[in-house]
């Protein structure tokens, strides 16, 4: 058996450093570090918590550290202090002495005696003097920004769009790790049978109160179960499952999923068609198209066809007015999934939201001619932003007079209270799902 080369905290530090330095995605890096270091399952939970927690609360940790740091620090030293302080402040079950010991050992290993002394000194000072209070912050927007570790521009933007209280609640919810949810493959098994099967295999799950074909995981990883491997379920957020309802699918329909990878919505559509009709799934990248194929194959769905294609060029591949339904789950700023990808909030700039809107409108305009008359086009994003969401809807409708807004009247009863006219904006705090936006357009006869 290979000897493990790194402690959990060293592995966490590697991930945090790489995320900061290379703008890498924390979820992908974490997975590769777990594989490389062959971490036992008991350590994987701690590694995940340390990594996500430290990244998630970076701005708050920096506020706490500021009075105790004089002069410039190497990046890795700052990350080590953040990681150590995160444990001291937010994790009750780790004794302070273990945190100090590990921090000093890592500092010795990676630096020199002076650095290990500095790290020890900073942490001991914080233990002795206590954390600085946030009460010194007078601007309410800055207070939410520092307290919940969201960039000032984002908190300000959300406050202008949704009000301070809703924004505060959203930012607080973004700090809580999401529960895993899974969608039952109803072509193979009922929800009741799946719950029974997962429970028998040692997982703790319950039926989702939000979506009729969803289950929520309370303990255990559904992606590691026989039921998952046998294609009886797939991992998907409950908010994302609502899209297939918006499409108002009927058996035998031909559907285009214009931005499909990794295939969660594609396969949901295919399941709702009960193996009939056809789902054409497009994605720009071949390796991502492979993921859609693998998902469809695992779930036993033969009505999915994939192509590696920029959906802005869909008109070169498909005939005009050849689809009954089209889904554009558009590339977006991802501000609704900050619990899963905390690094996004620091990497994004306000200007990114404007450039993304142009891509979204280009895709919608490119696929619009492919829809049959009286057909439905659904636009969705995993973000929370009025300009990016409602702004895109408004621009599309004003540029395409042959389309009208269409009601989302087939959504599960449980989410209809969140509707605003013909549009659905889900906030992370609404039911614990991702922040998500859905709108539907009908092509006039």
Which positions are catalytic? 382
CB-based contact 225:198 (threshold 8 Å) = yes
Residue 374: count other Cβ atoms within 10 Å of its Cβ: 10
Distance (Å, rounded) from C-alpha 4 to C-alpha 40?
Answer: 10
Length of the chain: 445
Pairing label, strands 278-283, 254-257: parallel
Distance (Å, rounded) from C-alpha 174 to C-alpha 149?
Answer: 10
* Distance (Å) of CA 42 to CA 46, 47, 84, 356: 7, 9, 20, 40
Q: What is the 3-state secondary structure (H, E, C) of 90-101?
A: HCCCCCHHHHHH
Pairing label, strands 323-329, 254-257: parallel
- Phi, psi of 49, deg, nearest 5: -65, -45
Q: Is 405 helix (H, G, I), strand (E, B) or coil?
A: strand
For the chain, the distance separating the N- and C-terminal CA atoms, rounded to the nearest angstrom, is: 67
Supply the DSSP symbol for 325. Answer: E
Enter the tokens of residue 323: 């689809």
E-only strand ranges, 330-388: 371-381
Distance (Å, rounded) from C-alpha 256 to C-alpha 273?
Answer: 13
Widest CA span in the chain: 77
Q: What is the 3-state secondary structure (H, E, C) of 150-217?
A: CCHHHHHHHHHHHCHHHHHHHHHHCCCCCCCEEEECCCCCCHHHHHHHHHHCCCEEEECCCCCCEEEE
Supply the DSSP symbol for 68. Answer: G
Supply the DSSP symbol for 132. Answer: P
CB-based contact 316:369 (threshold 8 Å) = no
Supply the DSSP symbol for 149. Answer: T
């Amino acid at each position: 058996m290979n000897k493990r080369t790194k402690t959990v905290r060293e592995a966490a530090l590697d991930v945090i450093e790489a995320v900061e330095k290379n703008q890498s995605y924390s979820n992908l890096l974490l997975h590769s570090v777990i594989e490389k270091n062959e971490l036992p399952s008991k350590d994987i939970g701690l590694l995940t918590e340390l990594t996500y927690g430290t990244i998630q609360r970076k701005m708050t940790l920096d506020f706490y550290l500021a009075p105790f740091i004089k002069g410039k620090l190497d990046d890795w030293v700052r990350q080590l202090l953040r990681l150590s302080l995160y444990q001291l402040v937010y994790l009750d079950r780790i004794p302070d002495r273990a945190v100090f010991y590990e921090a000093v050992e890592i500092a010795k290993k990676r630096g020199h005696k002076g650095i290990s002394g500095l790290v020890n000194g900073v942490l001991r000072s914080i233990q002795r003097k206590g954390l600085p209070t946030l009460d010194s912050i007078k601007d309410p927007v800055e207070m939410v920004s520092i307290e919940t570790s969201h960039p000032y521009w984002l908190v300000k933007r959300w406050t202008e769009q949704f009000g301070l209280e809703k924004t505060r609640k959203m930012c607080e919810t973004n700090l809580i790790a999401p529960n895993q949810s899974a969608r039952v493959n109803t072509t193979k098994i009922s929800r009741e049978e799946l719950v029974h099967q997962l429970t028998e295999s040692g997982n703790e799950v319950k039926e989702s109160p939000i979506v009729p074909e969803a289950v929520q995981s309370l303990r255990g990883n559904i992606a590691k179960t026989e039921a998952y491997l046998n294609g009886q379920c797939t991992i998907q957020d409950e908010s994302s499952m609502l899209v297939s309802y918006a499409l108002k699918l009927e058996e035998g329909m031909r559907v285009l999923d214009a931005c499909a990878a990794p295939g969660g919505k594609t396969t949901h559509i295919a399941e709702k068609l009960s193996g009939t009709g056809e789902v054409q799934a497009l994605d720009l990248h071949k390796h991502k198209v492979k993921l859609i194929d693998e998902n469809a194959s695992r779930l036993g769905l033969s009505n999915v066809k994939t192509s590696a294609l920029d959906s802005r060029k869909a008109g070169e591949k498909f005939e005009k007015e050849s689809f009954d339904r089209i889904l554009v789950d558009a590339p977006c700023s991802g501000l609704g999934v900050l619990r899963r990808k905390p690094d996004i909030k620091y990497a994004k700039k306000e200007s990114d939201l404007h450039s993304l809107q142009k891509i979204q409108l280009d895709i919608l305009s490119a696929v619009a001619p492919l829809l049959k008359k009286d057909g439905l086009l659904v636009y969705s994003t995993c973000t929370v932003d009025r300009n990016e969401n409602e702004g895109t809807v408004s621009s599309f409708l004003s540029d395409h007079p042959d389309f009208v807004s269409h009601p989302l009247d087939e959504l599960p009863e449980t989410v209809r209270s969140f509707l605003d006219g013909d549009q659905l904006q889900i906030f992370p705090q609404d039911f614990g799902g991702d922040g998500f936006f859905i709108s539907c357009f009908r092509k006039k006869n």
